[in-house]
C-alpha cells in the first residue's frame, strides 16, 4: 500500500508513514486484499511512479528511534505521563539505572505505541517538551556532580604533598 500523502510504500501495520509522518488511514485494518486489488496494486507498482504531493523528508525533532532525554531523566514520571507503565520498574533498586537507559533509547517508540496522536507533528511537540526538560535537568544535575568530583580529585592529589610539609 502507498501513503496517500507522499506516495511512498507503507506497511498497513504502521500508524504513520515513515517518510513524511502523515497518519496511515489503513492502520489497524486487516491486510486482506481481493485478487482484483492485488493486481491493481501490482500493476501500479510495476508501471507508474507514485505521485509526490509534498516533501518526503520532513525532519521531526522527536520521532521513534531517537534518544529521549525526558524518558532518560524522568523515567517514572515520563512513563506515567505517556502510559508506559514498564518504566515503573525504575522504582526497583538496581534496575533504575538500567531502566533509565532503556527508556531513553526506547521511549519514543513506547510513547507512539501507547498513545493516540493526531499526527507526527503533535507527537513531536509533546516529546520535544519532555526531551528539552530532561536534557536541561540532566545538565543541571551533572554540573555540581562534576564540580565535586573535581574538588575530590584535587584533594587526593594535593593531600599527600600537604602532609609531608607538616612533618
Secondary structure (DSSP) of the chain: -B-TTT--B--TT-SB-TTT--B-TTTTS-----HHHHHHHHHHHHH-PPP--S-S-PPPSS-TTS--HHHHHSHHHHHHHTT-GGGGGGGSTTTHHHHHHHHHHHHHHHHHHHS--SSHHHHHHHHHHHHHHHHHHHHHHHHHHHHHHHHHHHHHHHHHHHHHHT-
pLDDT tens, residue by residue, 41-75? 554 555 555 555 555 456 566 667 789 999 999 99
pLDDT tens, residue by residue, 101-112? 999 999 999 998
Amino acid at each position: 500500500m502507498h501513503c496517500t500523502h507522499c506516495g511512498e510504500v507503507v506497511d498497513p501495520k504502521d500508524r504513520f508513514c515513515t517518510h513524511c509522518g502523515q497518519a496511515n488511514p489503513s492502520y489497524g485494518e486487516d491486510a486482506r486484499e481481493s485478487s482484483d486489488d492485488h493486481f491493481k496494486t501490482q500493476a501500479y507498482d510495476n508501471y507508474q511512479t507514485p505521485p509526490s504531493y509534498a516533501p518526503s523528508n520532513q525532519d521531526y525533532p522527536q520521532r521513534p528511534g531517537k534518544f529521549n532525554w525526558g524518558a532518560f531523566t524522568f523515567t517514572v514520571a515520563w512513563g506515567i505521563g505517556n502510559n508506559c507503565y514498564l518504566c515503573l520498574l525504575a522504582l526497583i533498586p538496581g534496575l533504575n539505572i538500567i531502566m533509565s537507559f532503556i527508556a531513553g533509547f526506547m521511549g519514543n517508540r513506547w510513547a507512539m505505541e501507547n498513545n493516540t496522536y493526531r499526527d507526527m507533528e503533535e507527537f513531536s511537540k509533546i516529546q520535544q517538551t519532555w526531551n528539552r526538560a530532561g536534557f536541561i535537568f540532566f545538565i543541571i544535575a551533572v554540573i555540581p556532580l562534576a564540580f565535586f568530583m573535581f574538588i575530590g580529585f584535587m584533594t587526593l592529589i594535593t593531600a599527600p604533598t600537604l602532609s609531608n610539609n607538616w612533618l
